[in-house]
Amino acid sequence: MKLDAKIPKGSLGEKWDNHKFNLKLVNPANKRKFDIIVIGTGLAGASAADSLAELGYNVKVFCFQDSARRAHSIAAQGGINAAKNYQNDGDSVYRLFYDTIKGGDYRAREANVYRLAQLSSNIIDQCVAQGVPFTREYGGLLDNRSFGGAQVSRTFYAKGQTGQQLLLGTYGALCRQIELGKISYNPYHEILEYVLIDGHAKGVVTRNLLTGEIKSHAAHAVIIASGGYSNVFYLSTNAMGSNATAAWRAYKKGAYFANPCFTQIHPTCIPQAGEAQSKLTLMSESLRNDGRVWAPKSKENAEKLRKEELKPKDIPEDDRDYFLERKYPAFGNLVPRDIASRAVKEVCDEGRGIAATGLGVYLDFSDAISRLGTVAIEGRYGNLFQMYEKISGEDPYKTPMKIYPAVHYTMGGLWVDYNLMTTVPGLYALGEANFSDHGANRLGASALMQGLADGYFVIPYTIGDYLAGLGFNKVDINNPAFAEAEKNVKDKIEKLISAKGQRTPDEIHRELGKIMWEKVGMSRNEAGLKEAVEEIRRLKESFWKDIKVIGEKDNINETLEKAGRVIDFIELAEIMAIDALERPESCGCHFRLESQTEEGEAKRNDNDFTYVSAFSYEGEENEPKMHKEELKFEFVELTQRSYK
């Protein structure tokens, strides 16, 4: 199948306007004749659900959590970008577009990214109208800060809890539509299968996580907003429940999976403490506005710091290496995430890492505190400092934080066209679940922007174009495709629950995570990737022999849930490794050791790799097939990123 992104014609500024005009509309009175399923209640899912319900569609929402308000968007700390230019510092839609496409190392579509920048302003207006308490200045206007990779202050924030406040805003709108009867709300439900009729998405099969009930749901269109797949790595900053199952099962029904190897490693997370560690905690990138990253210049000092024979304050200024400021004088501590992460890794590989494991560097606020005072720093980062102290037991007002990179976000995801439709007609993917806007690296404060742009301002327009061509007949739940899908789901659950292996889902998951972190992590090479593919395949083969699940299938059973998600992670890991192997260039977060400049920076190969890779499922017995969507750059010139 040839991938058609359906990019509208015209100049960058005209594309979305032209497209909106050309999209077919559904008459207001007819909207209630259409049923739409939304999977996931994070920023993308909830904003799509409530916007569609407000338009008059019947919306059915599912989330695996006990409440829509717990979706992992809640954990986003730093902020949300918008090209408002409130600070009079030279920002514009074009600049936000340019920063985002450059930050993504020219592996995203111009048209999508420009639309995102255009819509960014509307998002802030919407959230403020909902009562989202953004941080303000003394004059009562909204405050902004600059955020990783940007030289203007365009990031709006609600202290260090921006994701929480934005999510609660859209969750409120969701609650309102539930109360009005326009949304059917189904927490504690997991999507295990999609139903296709004549090649179009017409429903899903769910498992009620409390009762184990397997049930079909019919609709005219299905929206996947189930987030990313960082938990393939076992340890990541994602929530424990974040999983790839909804996206992966869509892949197995014919939706292509794009750029699976593009995974973002966030530079500022709290270092791992031991084997029992269950997840990693991110410390917002905003901290790099005032925190200075450093490591000792000498290995000897590093050794003493690791053994706690020295304290960070014992290291004199001259013996400290503020390596981001040294290597990237123009951007300093604010270089994009991929660059910062690799620099930290390099320092630790040289043996200059601190923390007990040697896998850590300092993020030091002492200069900012003496310049601005403790009160100002507390105002900016109070809750983050508190969070750090609770986890690490150390007070960052007195001693520098210890940080190390961790997997945080996945730019890859289900392939979608400009309308956010996957390769399966009627099946859409929004937010982190799709691949579309961040290229090979996402800039800070852009995930919230994209999730809400997709949900509030893109899907309400584009879905109508599809629905308008369908006719008003209800989807027949008695179609044999539903019974067949239910049977597949039941068989798989039966297979899991009757498995007689000896390894727990977590044990297998940890093994997968180790393979991925070591061989498909921050830097990758051909030999390692080939090994990874082999190891993942072995793990996939032995899974059904090794897995151990106990308990009942018709009651809440976390082990059963976990086992089902782990096998999906393993299968997804395989195409991540294959994708990384088949892209021997470095770009953004994807650093191939074979492709670097003399200074050790990522070296793109635009002649051969300016494309999106998209994988199709070809059956259990066959290898997935890679398709290419060529990326055409009509408006920006491809340059080698330099933050020096």
Partner 1 sequence: MKVTLNIWRQKNVSSKGRFETYEVDNIDEHISFLEMLDMLNERLLKNDQEPISFSHDCREGICGACGLFINGRAHGPMRGVTTCQLHMRMFNDNDVITIEPWRAKAFPVIKDLTVDRTALDKIMQGGGYVSVNTGGVPDANSVIIPKLIADEAFNSAVCIGCGACVATCKNASASLFTAAKVSQLALLPQGYPERKYRARNMIDVMDGLGFGNCSNTYACEVDCPKEISVLNIARMNREYLKSIFVSLYS
Cβ distance to partner 1 smaller for residue 161 or 423: 161
Q: Which amino acid, residue 261?
A: C
Closest of 79, 100, 102, 82 to residue 91, by C-alpha: 82
CB 154 within 8 A of CB 96: yes
- Calpha distance 614→436 (Å, rounded): 12
Residue 423 in the binding site for partner 1 (CB under 8 A): no
Residue 400: CB minimum distance to partner 1, A: 18
Q: Is 24 exposed, middle or buried (0-12, 13-18, 19+ CB in 10 A)?
A: exposed
Q: Is 404 in the site for partner 1 (CB under 8 A)?
A: no
Q: Is 185 in the site for partner 1 (CB under 8 A)?
A: yes
3-state secondary structure at position 622: coil
Q: Which of 95, 337, 352, 380 is catalytic?
A: 337
CA 480 vs. chain centroid, Å, equals: 35
Q: At what angle do helices 162-179 and 43-55 cross, to 10 degrees?
A: 30
Contacts of 29 (CB under 8 A, 6+ apart): none
The answer to the question of residue 550 lying near partner 1 (CB under 8 A) is yes
Separation CA 219–CA 473 (nearest Å): 10
Q: CA-based angle 260:261:265, to the nearest 5?
A: 120
Nearer to partner 1, 473 or 502 (CB): 502
For residue 264, give the H/E element and its range: strand 263-269
Minimal distance, residue 173 CB to partner 1, in Å: 6
Quick note: the x/- pattern for partner 1 over 68-97, rule CB under 8 A, is: xxx-x-xx--------x-x-----------
Q: What share of the chain is helix, strand, coil (3-state, %, to 5)?
A: 40, 15, 40
Angle between helices 558-581 and 526-546 (to 10 degrees): 160
- Is residue 139 a contact point for partner 1 (CB under 8 A)? yes
Per the DSSP assignment, residues forming a β-bridge with 39 are: 62, 224
Closer residue to partner 1, CB minimum distance, 269 or 343: 269
Stretch that binds partner 1, among 6-14, 67-75, 98-106, 572-580 (CB under 8 A): 67-75
Token duo for residue 299: 């290995």
CB within 8 Å of 507: residues ≥ 6 apart: none
Q: Which stretch binds partner 1 (CB under 8 A): 20-28, 138-146, 248-256, 564-572?
A: 138-146
- Write down the least CB distance from residue 367 to partner 1, Å: 26
User: For partner 1, which residue of 97, 106, 456, 517 counts as binding (CB under 8 A)?
Assistant: 456
Nearer to partner 1 among residue 126 and residue 333 (C-beta):
126
The span of 19-27, 235-243, 287-295, 568-576 binding partner 1 (CB under 8 A) equals 235-243
25 binds partner 1 (CB under 8 A): no
Answer yes or no whether residue 279 interacts with partner 1 by CB under 8 A.
yes
Q: For partner 1, which residue of 4, 17, 89, 179 counts as binding (CB under 8 A)?
A: 179
Stretch near partner 1 under the rule CB under 8 A, chosen from 91-99, 384-392, 425-433, 609-617: 384-392
The 476-505 site mask, x for binding partner 1 (CB under 8 A), equals: --------------------------x-x-
Tokens of 191: 């999507």
Q: Name the residue nearer to partner 1 (CB basis): 111 or 384.
A: 384
- Contact between 294 and partner 1 by CB under 8 A: the answer reads no
Report the greatest alpha carbon distance in the chain: 75
- Determine which residue in the list 10, 131, 199, 329 makes contact with partner 1, applying CB under 8 A: 131
According to the binding rule CB under 8 A, does residue 579 interact with partner 1? no
Residues 519-548, mask of contacts with partner 1 (x by CB under 8 A): -----------------------------x
On whether the CB atoms of residues 465 and 425 are closer than 8 A, the answer is no
35-39 and 427-429 strand pairing: unpaired
Residue 171 binds to partner 1 (criterion: CB under 8 A): yes
- Lookup: tokens for 256: 């292509």
> Do residues 457 and 19 touch, judged by C-beta distance below 8 A?
no
Site for partner 1 in 196-225 (CB under 8 A): 210
Does 399 sit near partner 1 (CB under 8 A)? Answer: no
Of 30, 281, 298, 399, the one binding partner 1 by CB under 8 A: 281
Q: Tell me how far, at minimum, the Cβ of 74 lies from partner 1, in Å.
A: 5
Q: Is 393 in the site for partner 1 (CB under 8 A)?
A: yes
Q: Judged by CB under 8 A, how many residues of this single chain contact partner 1?
A: 80
Can you tell me which of 3, 175, 359, 626 binds partner 1, judged by CB under 8 A?
A: 175
337 is catalytic: yes
State yes or no: residue 50 binds partner 1 (CB under 8 A). Answer: yes
Contact 528, 518 (CB under 8 A): yes
Among residues 10, 351, 373, 551, the one that binds partner 1 under rule CB under 8 A: 551
* Contacting residue, 7, 23, 197, 239, with partner 1 by CB under 8 A: 239
For partner 1, what does the binding mask look like between residues 591 and 620, x meaning CB under 8 A?
------------------------------
Query: Could you tell me if 14 and 22 are in contact, meaning their C-beta atoms sit under 8 angstroms apart?
Result: no
State which residue, 8 or 172, has the beta carbon closest to partner 1: 172
| Least distance (Å) between residue 508 CB and partner 1 | 12
**555 binds partner 1, rule: CB under 8 A:** yes
Burial degree of 117 (CB within 10 A; 0-12, 13-18, 19+): buried
* 184 touching partner 1, by CB under 8 A: no
Amino acid sitting at position 273: A
**Which pairs count as long-range contacts for 556-561, CB under 8 Å and 24+ apart, including other chains?**
556/209, 556/210, 557/212, 559/504, 559/505, 560/493, 560/496, 560/497, 561/64, 561/190, 561/209
Residues noted as catalytic: 337
